[in-house]
Amino acid sequence: MIPKELKNNSKILSISVIALLIFRLLLTATIPLLDKTEARYAEIARIMQETKQWIVLQIDYGVPFWAKPPLSTWLSAGSFELFGINEFAARFPSFLLSVLLIIIAGKIVKKEGYSFYLPGFILLTMPEFLIHTGVVSTDTSLEFCITLMMISFWQAMKSETKTYWNYLFFVALGLGLLAKGPLIIVLSFPPLFLWCCQDLKRFKIILSKFSIIPGILITAIIAIPWYYFAEKETPGFLDYFIVGEHYKRFVEPGWKGDLYGSGHSQPKGMIWLYMIAFVFPWIQVVLYKIWKNKTTIFKNSWSSFLLLWAFWTPLFFTISSNILHTYALPSAMPIMFLVVYFWDEFTGKKLLINVALFFPAVVFIAYFGWFATGKLDYKMNSDKYLLENLKVTTKNKKIPIYYWKSKNYSGQFYTNGKAQVVKTDMQLDSVQTLNKKLFFVIPTKEEIEISKKQLDQMTLTQSNYKTSIFVTK
């Protein structure tokens, strides 16, 4: 019998979780919005809050953004209403959703006699989950909705009578359709179906525990209106979003139809390397325990449920070439529950806890190391500090800012959408004629594209590792 204090390690777990959440909140408030993805979603939310256009997402004024549904943008835009336009407000909804997941998981495992802080420790020491605890993206809201769906399904199936869990399942599905679209169906329904196939009686239980027709209506009422009005206001949205984003993106390597970037072409099966790296060290522990218990793990309904939930997502993305490491995030919660499931069998818990703290420690050291040496502004993939320094060094706050060829999303955000673009030397000549003085932002590697004549008319005023800002003489 394992002593309770060894089983829980409550003190170190509680201290670690509280410290990690405080540190993550500090990062949320002090790290600038990073290009390309995070600053892009923050800028979309900023435009939404400014224009009060809550239906059609805009990547620039008057330019619709069809790639994602609105839930995470609504949350960030609403946060801007409360806290003002800043990176903390943009990220706070993601931080809050992650904390809610930790609390939900803590309450579930506490009923089984484990520390309330154990799930939080496991999750916050996973690189993927720690990163997304306070990042502006659609992935955290998708993860939240999938988790709510799966837990609601499990609780409804195990309840003796029909409960509110069955309605919560359909609420989460509707929200998921607003978080990431039909992808939530693809990532949640197959593992549920396979789990029911293990015992065909489960299909009959679904009919008795779920109010299917009212539930579908609940999902439809939550999700369909936005899709209808988005297509009505910007015809073509549904074709791009449903066919392009949910089919071509995953089956066409280097998908050329992406209106907002380019496909992330990777070797097939790359998702498993992302799982190994970004769910470290818990994925390794779980895989080892699965192998050790391979003859019995599917005999337990809970462990088989978690196993299918955890590994369906990477199996699905195995055949895709267009993937990101963020696609590992939906597996974080079931991997955590599997670790808890095997927790009593671990004999080297303290060693495992120390290994798990490796990634957070690296982030901690890097952050305070850069902060102490004054290199934080130089190392960040953001134009925030460059633009802030311009405001400090010039009394004229209205000097126009032009980007060469394309604006960085962080530049759009931190200039409140006032940054403009020039794409040729001829256009640059024109804007110089119109403006006695202007700031010109050039990616460092693209300075060679600017003629010597143009550069001779400018003075370097700010720079970091990737961007330079010149002022015309």
DSSP3 helix / strand / coil % (the chain, rounded to 5):
65, 5, 25
CA–CA separation, 318 and 28 (whole Å)? 32
Give me the pLDDT at residue 348, please: 84
Task: Count the neighbouring beta carbons within 10 Å of the beta carbon of residue 331.
Answer: 28
Q: How far is CA 340 from CA 48, 303, 344, in A?
A: 41, 10, 8
Nearest to 179 by CA among 70, 98, 324, 97: 70
pLDDT digits (tens, 9 = 90+) for 53-106: 999 999 999 999 998 999 999 999 999 999 999 999 999 999 999 999 999 999
| DSSP secondary structure letter of residue 329 | G
CA–CA separation, 434 and 257 (whole Å)? 36
- Tokens linked to 226: 């936005």
**Contact in structure between 338 and 1 (CB atoms under 8 Å):** no
CA–CA separation, 427 and 454 (whole Å)? 12
**Contact in structure between 406 and 421 (CB atoms under 8 Å):** yes
- Tokens linked to 101: 């997941």
Give me the pLDDT at residue 214, please: 96
Nearest to 178 by CA among 213, 147, 205, 141: 141
How far the first Cα of the chain sits from its last, in Å, is: 78
Give me the pLDDT at residue 424, please: 85
> Token match 């009005």: residue?
229
CA–CA separation, 458 and 151 (whole Å)? 60
Q: What pTM does this model have?
A: 0.91
CA–CA separation, 472 and 455 (whole Å)? 9
**Contact in structure between 322 and 254 (CB atoms under 8 Å):** yes
| DSSP secondary structure letter of residue 263 | -
* List of the chain residues with pLDDT < 50: 1-3, 5-7, 396
- Tokens linked to 58: 């805009």
Backbone dihedral angles phi then psi of residue 450, each to the nearest 5 degrees: -90, 135
Nearest to 174 by CA among 152, 190, 154, 155: 152
Give me the pLDDT at residue 393, please: 53
Residues ≥6 apart with Cβ < 8 Å to 387: 401, 411, 414, 415
**Contact in structure between 178 and 151 (CB atoms under 8 Å):** no
The length of the chain in residues reads 473
